[in-house]
Amino acid sequence: MTKKKGFLNSKVSVLQMTLMVVAVVAYLISNVITNFQWTVGGLFFTGGILVFPITYILSDVFSEIYGYKWSRRSAWFSFLVNLAFVGILAILFHLPACEWTDVSAWEAVLGNSVRILIASFAAYMFGDWVNDMIFQHFRKKDGEKKFAPRAILSSFGGEIVDSLIFYPIAFLGEMPFSAILNMMVLGVVTKTLYEVLILPVTSKIVKTLDSKGERAYAED
């Protein structure tokens, strides 16, 4: 009887590890800068919109090349790193600061981190799960063909779920509901457009990984 291979015995390539690190860092950065809201022509955006789509793009790459398990693992790794980050911040905010340290500046930027973490975790885990489910559905149906359509459709579905969960939890009570609704709609549209524009790069990454034999590291 063949023993089932566990996570600690999984083979990981240098490229795979590099992409995992990029995904985790992108998620961490997006959670920090999402506290910064900006506006253009009466439309409202969060800072995270500039970086967060990278996590969905790489989720599609993981699903396509390395399999569903690695896509989910990237989500869990991202959350654990963010949890450690917020935990360290919580400790720092309770330490006696030096008189020349402007703690209020730190709290203004990062003081909402726990709420953002909860909102982000719930939104990302469900949103990325929907993204993976849609992607895998079309992956089983079309095989290795039609990567671009399933990448966009899956991300669009995931972004809808992500926005419906994240923005209300993160900002309800702190800003007008109309602004939250505005960001929810624009978040889905802008992030999906972001992924459409960068699709040639995503497709190139998939082809490059495929040509280098990275599918050998895939897990069902």
Q: Reply yes or no on whether the pLDDT at 2 is more than 50.
A: no
Checking if the pLDDT of 3 tops 60, the result is no
The phi, psi pair for 46, rounded to 5°, reads -105, 155
Tell me if 187 sits within 8 A of 163, measured CB to CB: yes
Alpha-carbon distance values, 171 to 11, 56, 114, 168, 178 (Å): 41, 22, 12, 6, 11
How many helices (H) does the chain have, and how many strands (E)? 8, 2
Predicted TM-score (pTM) of this structure: 0.81
Position 156 scores a pLDDT of 93
Residue 53's pLDDT band, with cuts at 50, 70 and 90, is confident
Check residue 1 and give its pLDDT.
42
Listed in sequence order, the DSSP H helices in 51-112 are 53-61, 68-93, 103-110
Q: What pLDDT does 7 receive?
A: 62
CA 87, CA 85: separation in Å to the nearest integer?
Answer: 5
Distances in Å between the Cα of 154 and the Cα atoms of 75, 130, 175, 191 are 16, 7, 30, 12
What does the pLDDT average to over 108-118? 75
Per-residue pLDDT averaged across 144-167, rounded? 91
The string of pLDDT tens digits covering residues 35-44 is 787 888 877 8
Question: Average model confidence (pLDDT) for the chain?
Answer: 86
Q: What is the pLDDT of residues 157-168, one digit of tens each?
A: 999 999 999 999
Give tens-digit pLDDT for 177-211.
Answer: 888 999 899 889 988 998 899 999 999 999 999 99
Distance, CA of 215 to CA of 213 (rounded, Å): 5
Which stretch of 29-38, 133-142, 151-160 has the lowest confidence by average pLDDT? 29-38
Nearest by Cα to 118 from 90, 73, 91, 86: 86
